[in-house]
Structure formats: C-alpha cells, structure tokens
Amino acid sequence: MSTLRFTTDTTVDGVREREFALDDVPGLLFSPASGAGGPLVLLGHGGGTHKRWPRFVGRAHRLVLDGGFTVAALDAPGHGDRPRTPTDEREVAALRRVQAAGEPIGPVVERYNLDIARRSVPEWRAALDALAALPEIGPDGPVGWFGTNMATAIGIPLLAAEPRITAAVLGQFWPGPLEETARRVTVPVEFVLQWDDEFISRESGLALFDALGSTEKSLHANAGRHMELPRFEADSAVRFFVRHLSARSTG
Amino acid sequence: MSTLRFTTDTTVDGVREREFALDDVPGLLFSPASGAGGPLVLLGHGGGTHKRWPRFVGRAHRLVLDGGFTVAALDAPGHGDRPRTPTDEREVAALRRVQAAGEPIGPVVERYNLDIARRSVPEWRAALDALAALPEIGPDGPVGWFGTNMATAIGIPLLAAEPRITAAVLGQFWPGPLEETARRVTVPVEFVLQWDDEFISRESGLALFDALGSTEKSLHANAGRHMELPRFEADSAVRFFVRHLSARSTG
C-alpha cells in the first residue's frame, strides 16, 4: 500500500489544511478546524491548475464549512508541484499552438486529459486506500467525487472502477471515449454544463450527461460561456453531497 | 381596480393562510405567522389541481418558512372553486378521451392551457395591483413567479407583459406558440424539465428553455418521468428566489 505522510498542518479561516505526500504524489487534506470531519469528498482540479488554485481551495472550504466534509485533493500528473513527463511537455506545447492559432482546443484537451486520467485513476484509488486507513476517516463511510473539466475525464473512469465512491458532481467535458465508460457509472450524479460553452458544444455536453448510467442524475445547464460557471453551483454541489453522503433519506 | 377581500384567516404549522376573493377569483395568501413577510412570490398551480392541492401548499410553506416570502396563489380559470365554462368542459372531456384511448395528451393540454393562460394573465396582473395596494406588501418590492406545467403556459406571457416580476421558476411545458413569447422574457429564470418525460420530448423541453431571452438562466434536468420531479427542486427554487429577491448581490 502507498504511504501517506503529512508534511504541514495549518488552519485557515476555520479550515485545517494538511499537505501530504502519497508516495511521490503531493496532496492536501481539508477538514473542520473545530474537530472531526464528516464524510470524505475527493476533489479533483481542472486542467492547467493545481491543489492550491484559489477557486479550487474555495470549493474545498465550502465543502468543509457548509457541509462538514473532509476533503482530499491531489495534484494531477504533470500539474502543480509535480514534474512534467515528455508527454506532458508535448501536449502542453500542442495546446499552446492551437490556442495561438485560434484553432479549437477540444481535440488536444480531450486527448491529453484522457492520458492524464489513465495515470491519475490509480493514484486516486491508492489515496482512497491510504485515507481509509487513517483513524479519523476509516473504511466505512460514504465517499464523494467532485470534479469538473479535466476532473470529469478522471472522475468517470474512477467512478466506473471504484465502488467506494457513492455520489459525484461532474461536468464540462466532451463525450468521446468517455461515453462508453459513463454507462458504467451508476451512482447519483449532479452534472454541470454551460449552455453557451465556446469549447464544448451543447450536443456534446448533453450526450455525456445522457450516457451516464445513473438512475438518479441532475443536469444543471447555465447560460454563459465555458469559464462562467456560476458560483452558486459550488453551493449546490455541497447540498448534493449533504443529501447523498450525510442524510441519504432526505433527497 | 379589482377588489381584494379576505374571507378566512388561519395559521397552519407556522404559516398564516388567508383566503381571499379578487372580485370573483378565489385566492390564498401565505405569510409567516411570526409577522411581516418578505418579498412576494406568485405561485401558479398545475393543470387539474388547485390552490389547496397538498404538494402545492407544501411549496408555498417552503417559500414562507425557508425563504421568509409572502406567497399568493389563485385558482386558475376552470379550476378549484371556480365554475367551468363550456370551453373548460369541452377540453376536459377531450383530455379524458385521449387519455382513455392511450393517445398523446400533449396537443390537448397545450391548446387548453394556452386558452387558460389567455384568461389567467389579466387576473394575475389585477392580483398584483391589489396585493401591491396592501400596506403589508406595497408597490416597491421585487416579485417572483413560480409555476411549472400549466403555470409555465401562464407564466411566460405574464412575464413578457409584466415588468414588476423580476425572477421566475418555470418548466415542464411544450414550446409551440410560447417559444416566440419566451424570447421576450428577460428576467433570471430557473427552468426544470424531466429527462425522461413521457409527455414532453427532450427536444421540446430544451427548445423552450433555449428560447427564453434571459441572460441569466439555469436548466435543471432530472432523470425521471413527468410526475417524478424531485422534491429538492422546491428547495432549489426557494434558494433561487432568495438569491434574486432577497439578496440580489450574492448570486
């Protein structure tokens, strides 16, 4: 089993933040400063960002402060404090090229993020093993996955493989090869997309939602472009996890 | 101006319920038993029900108890305590016929509800005049519209005509002639549809959402059939009105 070693321990605005290393993968555990945290939510960041990205940390704090959850984040392969492989370097350069040329980024992002997902899913499963071995978390509680954009490319194969995750917030990604994997996702899902997304067509976004095998699933489609996901969706995600992880009978 | 005359005054589970007559239209005003209510939400019921329908009263109570709103309901033409006109009798009989024959109800419901909307919109505008004249409500506050199904057929032309209504929850209706009217709706909207609706096709539901002229609009599409709208959507509607009517800066 991978070794989880805490390296820092600080408190910010009522949230205890502990950095850790899971073998060589850097992570961050958020929990209520006031004491034991509730159910575990795994929080995946988007492409090009990392576990200390301000909006990402803001989501973690909402989950801890409004929902009482314990939240675990990992830097994705090639992101944050992690080294880039030759594949990462090549794909980041390809992305810069299409952006500079004003060409669609979708084909590059989709290909690159699915490659990151292949590397990332085993890391998240190892993290779940190591977190479940901590006395403050334990192996028995329900677990959530919260991740849009690249973290949906990771989340869908992770959910298909990992029965310990029982509810997920996903969205803002292309269907492509994920469409088939999504049919094997059966847990309750809240799925966000942007109605006027300039990168992901409406048809693509709806197709990925439709492909999810879950009998309980909710689409939240908001007017606006890709980066304009409204902040109230983070609050909605907290309530979704409260319904499904904390108070399963009230949904 | 129409005359609003209160006829009963009772308190149920912390909610003051006052029946009234607006000329010959029966209505019901819900407000906090504890004192003055907050902003006004107009609550329209669905086809075949009325202002005392249990799930409908439940929504009114959530708005009062969780959002602090004042809530006004009217019986729609031909519904509840109101007489049926020959048109109502004919259309109800037509609906029974197609239901008994196992034929699609859409064409009859759409035609009949649009007819009810033509009669109902002036009644709601008169109610708004009369309610604004009550000292406890007044003419200056923001006003919401909450109504799905038949109350969306009423709500869309009402919103297009009535600048006093500044936010609305709508959904679960066919586009048809409403599609053009919807383009003149510009206030923030939360719109529900059922992803597996056996009466309203997915394309129809999405087309009506898409037609709304609002720059702020959110679609909530939930897995399930027409009557399976999840209860948490009523809670979401309360939060939507809190964002837009009570605390407009936090959305």
Checking if the pLDDT of B251 tops 90, the result is: no
Distances (CA, A) of A215 to A187, A212, A235, B116, B193: 8, 9, 23, 35, 15
Minimal CA separation from B9 to chain A, in Å: 32
Give CA–CA dist A79/A74, Å, rounded. Answer: 10
Taking CB atoms and an 8 Å limit, are B221 and A219 in contact across chains?
yes
Per-residue pLDDT at A249: 38
Both tokens of A150, joined, read 């690249």
pLDDT of residue A250: 38
Are B223 and A214 contacting, i.e. CB atoms less than 8 angstroms apart? yes
User: Which CATH number is A4-246 given?
Assistant: 3.40.50.1820
Q: What is the pLDDT of residue B250?
A: 38
Helix axes A54-67, A232-241, angle to 10 degrees: 40
Q: Classify domain B4-81+117-246 at the CATH topology level.
A: Rossmann fold (3.40.50)
- pLDDT at site B36: 82
Q: Is the pTM of this model over 0.90?
A: yes
Of A215, A221, A232, the CB nearest to B219: A221
Overall average pLDDT of the B111-123 stretch: 98
Q: A219–B220: do the CB atoms touch at under 8 Å?
A: yes
Query: Does residue A74 register a pLDDT over 60?
Result: yes
Which chain A residues in 171-230 lie under 8 Å from chain B, judged by CB atoms?
A: 195, 206, 209-210, 214-223, 230
Bridge partners (DSSP) of residue A144 are A41, A167
Mutate to test the interface with A, among B232, B240, B250 (most CBs of A within 10 A): B232
The total of other beta-carbon atoms located within 10 Å of residue B250's CB is: 11
Q: Cβ B219–A195 below 8 Å, yes or no?
A: yes
Structure tokens at B125: 């505008």
pLDDT at residue number A37: 86
The residue of chain B nearest to residue A231, with distances taken between CA atoms, is B251
Express as a percent the part of chain A with pLDDT over 70. 98
Interface contact flag, A230 B219, Cβ < 8 Å? no
Sequence spans of domains, chain B: 4-81+117-246
What is the rounded distance in angstroms from the CA atom of residue B3 to the CA atom of residue B16? 21
Contact B218 A216 (CB under 8 A): no
Portion of chain B with pLDDT greater than 90, in percent: 96
